Amino acid sequence: MPGEVVWSLGTPSERQREFLLADARFVAYGGARGGGKSWAVRKKAVLLAANYPGIRLLLLRRTYGELRENHILPLQRELKDIATYKETEKAFTFPNGSRLRFGYCDGETDVLQYQGQEYDCIFLDEATQFTEMQFATLTACLRGVGDFPRRMYLTCNPGGVGHDWVKRLFVDRRYRPAERPEDYVFIPARVYDNAVLMRQDSGYVQMLESLPEDLRRAWLEGDWNVFAGQFFREFNRDTHVCRPFEIPPHWRVYVTMDYGLDMLACLWVAVDERGRAVVFRELYESDLIISEAAERILAATKEAVDLWLAPPDLWNRRQESGRSVADLFAERGISLTKTSNDRVAGWMAVKEWLHEGAEGEPRLRMFEGCHNLIRTLPMLRYDEQRPSDAATTPHELTHAPDALRGFCVYWTQAAEPPRAARSNWSEDLWEDYNNAGEAGKAYLVEKYGSPFSRP
């Protein structure tokens, strides 16, 4: 017809064609990097908008920068004479009433803005960068009236904070009672399936082929079994998390923090006679000015503190006042000690503290009440540009681990056994007490008396 605008789909690969034709409720596409996932997502979204007048579509990435570069800008070029884009709404509107909206979830709770909204299809691009809570929240948005498909399309690579739930649902196919296996389809793809990339950017393939073995198997071959998404694969909840016990008064106590207006993460760490440590308290609170942060920290501190540890950036002097955050904390009774800001060395130190030695016991444990440290530490992922560093996004996950890094990289001293204990108990009995659990310590005190009382 005269004046008709023709939109070209292009030529999909065989794997991309499978993705475009899949009609399960949850369709995941990917595995290795470079498989043409973003291209397939854009084409599928436009096809749905064209074929279902009035359909409501939502396309999500972790950050707005990724969203803009990978989807908004390419679609602005492709849909120039077909659909209208409004920056204020971050959405394309099609002549038939269909709407494709774009969103991002940089923080864990950003996804809550979509609660109560209704979409017919949702695209979760790079799904392993989203947590299971975010995925579950979005699935509740797949609803509405009208004869539209209700589906979620996911693209994914091994690694990231969402590695475990994506692998469980689409690769291992391990389902909970409320989940139906027929609702989940996984279409694996590798860079070698992407003929355009192979032809135009052979250097990208060579980069993938030259990666260290674990990363190569994950990013080039799409192997989900060698790359669990954890920067700290040493972390084991059964080994590193313990029930609370009374901290002996002679143990050294360090308070380490990561402070910013967005979040105060503060950890209390006790070190015993053998140089082993336990994180026994945490404070995790946002939107605190310095005076409020100091007040919260001092109110939570019940012990004598050997050192207050903080990262070097707290010593940066403000241009308007010439004073630093460290100065302001000192005025409020917290005299900070500067730790190293070397991220790679710091993370290596954390790994050493988490490492289980020949005795099968790590140098570092944490009380089960330290919920945020326990939650965020195993969720840290590798930095894609620097595999020896942890990713700085999602930013919400970095605060407690950064505070822990400040302690682990700092040289700490073991506690001195109290003299009263040495004169009251034998060395063997004292060693038994140090190695005992909460119940064992109580038994020894009941039978032999307190090791901290003088004879």
Give residue for tokens 């090791």.
Answer: 451
Cis peptide bond N-terminal to 394, omega within 30: yes
Per-residue confidence (pLDDT) for residue 145, from 0 to 100? 80
CB 300 within 8 A of CB 283: yes
pTM > 0.85 = no
| Res 307 pLDDT > 80 | yes
Rounded Cα gap, residues 258 and 394, in angstroms: 16
User: Radius of gyration of the chain from Cα atoms?
Assistant: 27
CB 197 within 8 A of CB 34: yes
Overall average pLDDT of the 124-137 stretch? 91
Per-residue confidence (pLDDT) for residue 424, from 0 to 100? 63
Overall average pLDDT of the 140-148 stretch? 88
Per-residue confidence (pLDDT) for residue 301, from 0 to 100? 97
Per-residue confidence (pLDDT) for residue 90, from 0 to 100? 95
> pLDDT per residue over 201-223, tens digit each?
667 677 777 777 767 777 777 77
Give the pLDDT band of residue 183 (cuts 50, 70, 90).
Answer: very high
For the chain, domains (ranges, CATH) are: 14-219 (3.40.50.300), 237-408 (3.30.420.280), 419-448 (no CATH)
Rounded Cα gap, residues 105 and 113, in angstroms: 9
- Return the minimum-mean-pLDDT range out of 7-16, 263-272, 341-350: 7-16
User: What's the length of the chain?
Assistant: 455
- Return the minimum-mean-pLDDT range out of 229-243, 264-278, 290-304, 415-429: 415-429
